[in-house]
Amino acid sequence: MSSRIITVEPFDMVVFGATGDLSARKLIPALYRRDVAGQIPAEARIIGVSRRLPAEGSFEASVRTSLAQHVPDEELTDEHIARFLARLAFVTLDVTGEAGWGDLAALLAQHPARIRAFYLAVGPDLFGAICERIGRHGMVTPETRVVVEKPVGKDGASARAVNDAVGRVFSERQIFRIDHYLGKETVQNLMALRFANALFEPVWNAAHIDHVQITVAETLGVQGRAGYYDTSGALRDMVQNHMLQLLCLVAMEPPTSLDADAVRDEKLKVLKSLKPISIAGADHLTVRGQYRAGASAGGAVRGYLEELERDDSTTETFVAIKAEVENWRWAGVPFYLRTGKRLATRLSEIVVSFRPIPHSIFPGSAGAVHSNRLVMRLQPDEGVRLWLMIKDPGPGGMRLQHVPLDMTFADAFGVKAPDAYERLLMDVVRGTQTLFMRRDEVDAAWAWVDPILEAWKASSQAPKPYTAGTWGPSAAVGLIERDGRTWQDDGY
């Protein structure tokens, strides 16, 4: 079997921050791959915008570099590269000044009816200025969309200011707030598993589920991003967006359809049902950590403060939280969230742990009866496994074994999962907002995160140190073990 490719309508995609890191690492490779797959029509253009020409001397040259660095050799052919490069245009433009905007408007005016997407791969402090100029120069047509990258703000108040600024020029229907975790294959599969099977939904509740764990572990440190990261930290960088979105998809009620608002209405209800964490509660419901020198990804690495070249930062590079969703379906079921940099391995997983059987009919000699577990692995090697008890095959009496039923179908379809950005960029062109965050979701996520930030600020304790290459501070182990449970460090 193979997957079907449906070519999208012709479009002009304008990338602000075209010479930046996100563009080089994610956007250009994603567009190239969709082009190779035949999903991008011949007329489509990619218009890079930046204050100055890239270091390579031309946009074309910097795109070549980005492809060489971020797309495997076997996916690069001269013919495909030439076709892709022919789509490129570049405009030198001052996003906070006036120079260059007329040139961009003129370029776009060549195809006034075409789908237009402005991708703001720049800091959120520039969103307002850029949108205002896009509006003032008459570039917003009915077929225009704007894509904004996280972070949308650094707390509820600043997020509202950013959203207001973008909202003065674009309607909510035109605003695509990207959370690339929603574009990951397994995250999509979670919706299919839950809502395309009759099997799971009846047991998807507090009566049958003991707890849920969501882990996003990275081996990387903050490297070149220390400046941004130190003003952010793991809670803002990963939890407010990616992890809460994953939690929403696990916890939400079945939407009436896959329509953007039907899905987002349900996610919003989950965010609003999150039990607030008070200043007093933050002490035992959250753990923050900061890595020290150690070994990670096969080599010795420096600690966070050394990477930062400062010794007074209290920014957290690790966070673990015990969250609860206060509604009928989930009352009393903890959702343990954990994410960090420089951890033992790169691993992102959602583990749904079912309750133990009520009574065992098996003799002690049969071995322990383990609870069922559904593990959705986002990376690496995305897939889904359901852990079941079976009888050990063959003679020897009744001996039980805990084995995974592999529910990964990628091999059967013979396709490699596309990168999240590939899917999301094509959704932008199609105008499909299901996998993008609506404004009220962003507000509700901040409403839960803000008190945690305040509690940490008020606390006299610094983040707990952990050695790079471990699973974070021991307090994170305590957070879950206090409840008689353990992290599934490799539950797959």
Active site residues: 242
- Tokens standing for residue 415: 């396709």
- Of the pair 237, 349, the CB lying nearest ligand BG6 is at 237
Nearest approach, Cβ of residue 246 and ligand BG6 (Å): 11
- Of the pair 334, 383, the CB lying nearest ligand BG6 is at 383
- Of the pair 180, 338, the CB lying nearest ligand BG6 is at 180
Give φ, ψ of 164 to 5 degrees: -65, -45
Nearest approach, Cβ of residue 224 and ligand BG6 (Å): 12
Beta bridge pairs of residue 379:
348
- Tokens standing for residue 52: 């100055």
Which of 202, 213, 153, 210 has the alpha carbon at shortest distance from 358? 210
- Of the pair 236, 439, the CB lying nearest ligand BG6 is at 236
Nearest approach, Cβ of residue 373 and ligand BG6 (Å): 22
The site string for ligand BG6 over 348-367 (x = CB under 6 A, - otherwise) reads: x-------------------
- Of the pair 342, 439, the CB lying nearest ligand BG6 is at 342
Cβ neighbours, 10 Å, residue 475: 17
12 binds ligand BG6 (CB under 6 A): no
Nearest approach, Cβ of residue 149 and ligand BG6 (Å): 8
- Of the pair 29, 255, the CB lying nearest ligand BG6 is at 29
Rounded Cα–Cα distance for residues 423 and 428 (Å): 9
CB–CB of 109/144 below 8 Å?
no
Nearest approach, Cβ of residue 348 and ligand BG6 (Å): 6
Nearest approach, Cβ of residue 180 and ligand BG6 (Å): 6
Q: How many chain residues bind ligand BG6 (CB under 6 A)?
A: 4
Nearest approach, Cβ of residue 446 and ligand BG6 (Å): 16
Rounded Cα–Cα distance for residues 69 and 466 (Å): 32
- Tokens standing for residue 325: 């969703």
Give the 3-state secondary structure percentages of the chain, helix then strand then coil, rounded to 5. 40, 20, 40
- For ligand BG6, the nearest residue by Cβ is 237
Give ∠ CA 183-185-190 in degrees, rounded to 5.
Answer: 100
- Of the pair 239, 429, the CB lying nearest ligand BG6 is at 239
**Contacts of ligand BG6 in 165-184 (CB under 6 A):** 180
Which of 424, 429, 423, 421 has the alpha carbon at shortest distance from 9? 429
Which of 56, 58, 59, 75 has the alpha carbon at shortest distance from 18? 59
DSSP E strand stretches across 284-437: 286-292, 294-296, 299-301, 318-324, 334-340, 347-354, 373-379, 383-391, 400-406, 436-437
Among 185, 218, 349, 382, binds ligand BG6 (CB under 6 A): 218
Sole residue written with tokens 């969250």: 323
Cis bond before residue 151 (omega within 30° of 0): yes
**Contacts of ligand BG6 in 116-145 (CB under 6 A):** none
**Contacts of ligand BG6 in 298-357 (CB under 6 A):** 348
How do strand 11-16 and strand 45-50 relate by DSSP bridges? parallel
3-state secondary structure of 442: helix
Among 237, 349, 382, 422, binds ligand BG6 (CB under 6 A): 237
185 binds ligand BG6 (CB under 6 A): no
Instruction: List residues near ligand BG6 by CB under 6 A.
Output: 180, 218, 237, 348
